Amino acid sequence: MDGAANDLRTLRYVAEITRKLAKMLSRTRYQMLVYLLEMTAVEAESLADERDPKRGRPTRRPQ
C-alpha cells in the first residue's frame, strides 16, 4: 500500500509542478505549451482521484 500512496503523491506533485510551470509560461508566447501542461496537470489529478476516490477533489480545467 505504501507504493500506491507514493504513486498518488507523485501524480499530485506532477499536477502541481506542471501548473506552476504553465503559470510562468502563460506570460509568454508559448500558449500551446501552456495548454499541454494544463492538460497534463488535469490528467495527473484525474488518475490520482481514480486511484483514491476518498480524497477526490474538483479538478481544475484549463481556461
Q: Structural domain tally of the chain?
A: 1
The predicted-structure confidence for 25-57, as pLDDT tens digits, reads as follows: 888 888 899 999 999 999 999 998 888 867 655
| Per-residue pLDDT, 40 | 93
- Identify the helix (H) or strand (E) that includes residue 11: helix 2-25
In sequence order, the 6+-apart residues with CB closer than 8 A to the CB of 39 are 62
- Locate 24 and state its grid cell: 510562468
Kindly state whether residue 58 falls inside one of the protein's structural domains. Answer: no
Is the pTM here over 0.75, yes or no?
A: no
- The pLDDT, as a whole number, for residue 29 is 86
Cell (9 digits) for 29 = 508566447
Q: What torsion, rounded to 10 degrees, do the Cα atoms 55, 46, 17, 32 define? A: -160
Q: Can you give the residue range of the structural domain that contains 44?
A: 2-11+22-51
Q: Is 60 domain-assigned?
A: no
Residue 58 and residue 52: Cα distance in Å, rounded? Answer: 13
Residue 17 within a domain: no
